[in-house]
Structure 1
Amino acid sequence: MLTRRIAPSLRSVVPPSSITRSFSAVTAQYADKKLSTPSLADITHDGAADFNARQREFREQLAAQQRQREQAENEAREREAQQEGGKKKTGPLSSLIYGTTEGRNLDKDIERSFSQVLARGKYVHSIVFHEVKPDKVDEYVQLVGNWYPRMASMPEHKVHLVGSWRTEVGECDTFVHIWEYQRYEGYHASLNAFENHPDYAEFNKKLRSYIFSKRSSLMQEFSFWPTTPPRKLGGLFELRSYTLHPGNLLEWETHWRRGLGARKQVMEGVGAWFVQIGELNTVHHMWQFADLEERKVRREQSWSVEGWGETVHKTVPLIQTMKSKILIPCPWSPVA
């Protein structure tokens, strides 16, 4: 359960008031520290109870925040309705449909582009894969672990680090980083800020000497699955990557939207994204488990939940290839 790095309580790491999309405070604390290289050996076989307790607490806090947001939205709609009540009235049918907020939103939905139907649109995410030389893993962890948190903690950079992980099953010694930007404007602003930082040239020179290759894609999160805010549940992660047949992304989203509710009853999701620039027709899902045995148990339980079997039946024909990686979070990762 990564016990040497996980605090005994989620609240001691991430207070309830801070369970939002703000990652800066979580990453900044790791800058300029001696960092250990993550390993599957950090995960114990008896940590499921602690993981489940942290998971329950995290979900309860998220639910409380959701209720607060819904209350604020309801109050805003009531104020809007009161304001509209004093305006010029139209015919009964027009007032019933097109004169309402729902009616206007319906028109906007019809006009939205294909990508907007799929995505929430507020964020752009990048997923970066570094294939690290085996004899340079420790140096890489120290270098990136000091650089990434510093960059993510600066508000002017307009970027958050969702998480950093090391692959232990799959393409070993490959590190996966997911960044979150405020739309493409934030992506451009972040790249510019990074490369103009006085320490960037030295960092980049060392980084290139530690890795065999680097590849990245720009993604958007599916509208039905917002990326999780920072949390420290412990355990390990699974990144599942699917290459779909061209033209099937919207159908995939439709089936997964229906099936996700079933899966989330027994598994802890991190996020789901589809690639817009880079490895096109690719979908990434990330899940979090207490350990490998719990992963097996939870996946088997999915089949007993109504709706999941149908989702698999309808999505399998849409897939060209699929990959699975078991990931261990790095010490500085906000999602861990």
Structure 2
Amino acid sequence: MFGTTPQKCENREGWFSKLLVRRIEPTKEPHSRMLSDKDVIYELQTHNMRPDSRKKYLQNYERTVRLIESHKNELSCELVASWTVQVGDMDQVLHLWRHIGGFSGIDRSKHFLIHDKDYLTLEEERGNYLRSRHLQYLLSFSYWPPIEARKGNNVYEIRSYSLKPGTMIEWGNNWARAINYRRQNQEAFAGFFSQVGRLYNVHHIWCYSDLHCRKETRESAWRLPGWDECVAYTVPLIREMHSRILHPTSFSPTQ
């Protein structure tokens, strides 16, 4: 009476097979070399502001950005984007920096700045406006489109994933295909995986004209054959994920 028909068994097995993590063969290549082909390091600063210090904090950080820009001949870094969180962790700001020359470039820049009195004064002042900070060094996935500054009045979404250890290559294999389903609206802004900080951390950053556009764009992806399979293969790799809606600061290079 409670038996399962062969057709139902076949359908169930097909569904379960999509949730299985495929085996990755051992390799002597570091994962960072296999997933990223650029000698460029990205720095993601996450700052949690004191609620009563938002204006002072943003003014301080803008002065810091201008100071670093004035030393562009000595430093190998530049601000890519700066956002305040509108939905998610409130009173939070994200700053994305690009470092040229790998970790050697980061070392040179840090050494220069810790001997700059104006920079140290700004950094000390900024401490009065913060509750906490976190920093990650990231690499960009090689299969994502190049990062390009956007114009206009846009909103951004950062979707952050904590992956199971050992699954980064599998994630890359699936998203190398999945990103092709999300290219038509030029919504893909940047895709990163962590090198230093919280490990096995992935950040996908998307750009939309507004929240309604985000809704329509995401729903349209589900109508494309193959997108559901990509999602089914990546879901088992995730330990935790969360989404934040971002708005560019007035001094952000990308708007």
Tell whether the structures are fold-level matches, with TM greater than 0.5.
yes
CA shift, 1:266, in A, is 3.4
Show the counterpart of 2:155.
236
Q: Find the residue that maps to 1:223 and give its secondary structure.
A: coil
Misfit runs of 4+, over 2 Å: 110-114
Q: Structure 2: where are the runs of 5+ without partners?
A: 1-26
Q: Structure 1: where are the runs of 5+ without partners?
A: 1-109
Show the counterpart of 1:150.
67
Show the counterpart of 1:223.
142
Q: Which amino acid aligns with 1:124?
A: I
Does the C-alpha gap of structure 1 residues 196 and 283 become closer, same or farther in structure 2, counting only changes over 3 Å?
Answer: same
CA shift, 1:231, in A, is 2.9
Would you say the 8 A contact 1:255–1:314 is kept in 2?
yes
Normalising by structure 1, report the TM-score.
0.65
Show the 5 A alignment for 1:237-316. 237-316=156-235
Q: Percent identity?
A: 33
Q: 2:49 aligns with which of 132, 146, 157?
A: 132
CA shift, 1:307, in A, is 2.5
Q: Which amino acid aligns with 1:131?
A: N
Q: Find the residue that maps to 2:192 and give its secondary structure.
A: strand
Q: 2:83 aligns with which of 151, 165, 178?
A: 165
In 2, Cα distance between equivalents of 1:207 and 1:282 = 27
In 1, Cα distance between equivalents of 2:130 and 2:183 = 36
Show the 5 A alignment for 1:104-123. 112-123=29-40
Q: Find the residue that maps to 1:317 and give its secondary structure.
A: helix
Would you say the 8 A contact 2:141–2:193 is kept in 1?
yes
CA shift, 1:114, in A, is 2.6
Would you say the 8 A contact 2:145–2:188 is kept in 1?
no
Show the counterpart of 1:174.
92
In 2, Cα distance between equivalents of 1:227 and 1:144 = 26
Show the counterpart of 2:120.
201
Q: Find the residue that maps to 1:199 and give its secondary structure.
A: helix
CA shift, 1:226, in A, is 4.6
CA shift, 1:189, in A, is 1.2
Q: Find the residue that maps to 1:156 and give its secondary structure.
A: coil
In 2, Cα distance between equivalents of 1:266 and 1:309 = 18
Q: Which amino acid aligns with 1:318?
A: L
Equivalences, count: 227
CA shift, 1:200, in A, is 1.7
In 1, Cα distance between equivalents of 2:185 and 2:222 = 10
Does the C-alpha gap of structure 1 residues 152 and 311 become closer, same or farther in structure 2, counting only changes over 3 Å?
Answer: farther
Would you say the 8 A contact 2:31–2:168 is kept in 1?
no
Would you say the 8 A contact 1:270–1:287 is kept in 2?
yes
In 2, Cα distance between equivalents of 1:173 and 1:136 = 9
Question: What is the Cα-based RMSD across aligned positions, in Å?
Answer: 1.5
In 2, Cα distance between equivalents of 1:180 and 1:272 = 13
Would you say the 8 A contact 1:258–1:307 is kept in 2?
no
Q: Which amino acid aligns with 2:37?
A: R
Using the TM superposition, name which of 148-157 and 309-318 deviates more.
148-157
Would you say the 8 A contact 2:48–2:93 is kept in 1?
yes
Would you say the 8 A contact 2:47–2:92 is kept in 1?
yes
CA shift, 1:112, in A, is 4.8
In 2, Cα distance between equivalents of 1:258 and 1:287 = 17
CA shift, 1:264, in A, is 1.5
Normalising by structure 2, report the TM-score.
0.85
Does the C-alpha gap of structure 1 residues 200 and 151 become closer, same or farther in structure 2, counting only changes over 3 Å?
Answer: same
Would you say the 8 A contact 2:41–2:139 is kept in 1?
yes
Would you say the 8 A contact 2:189–2:206 is kept in 1?
yes
Q: Which has the higher strand share?
A: 2
